Amino acid sequence: MEELLEEILNECQPYTKDGAVATYIPELAKQDPSGLGMYVICSDGSHYGAGDYLKPFTIQSVMKPMLLLLALMDNGIEYICKYVGVEATGKPFDAINVSGTSLLASNLNPMVNAGAILLCQFLKGENYDERFNRLLDLIRMLADNPEIALDEDVYHSEKSTGAKNRALAYLLKSHGMIWDDVEDVLDCYFKACSIRVCSRDLARIGFVLANHGRKPKTDERVFPAKYARFVNACLTTCGMYDGSGDFAIRVGIPAKSGVGGGIMGVVPTKMGIGIYGPALDEKGNSLAGIRALEEFSRRMYLSIF
* 197: β partners: 57
Q: How far apart are the first and last CA of the chain?
A: 23
Residue 276 parent element (H or E): strand 271-276
Q: How many CB atoms lie within 10 A of CB 103?
A: 19
What's the alpha-carbon Rg for the chain, to the nearest Å?
Answer: 18
SS3 call for 92: coil
SS3 call for 151: coil
The Cα 3–Cα 147 span in angstroms is: 29
Q: Are 8 and 292 in contact (CB under 8 A)?
A: yes
Tell me the residue type at 196.
R
The Cα 173–Cα 184 span in angstroms is: 12
Q: Which residues are catalytic?
A: 61, 64, 189, 241, 259
Residues 6+ apart with CB under 8 A from 263: 62, 202, 255, 256, 257, 273, 274, 275, 277, 285, 286, 289, 290, 293
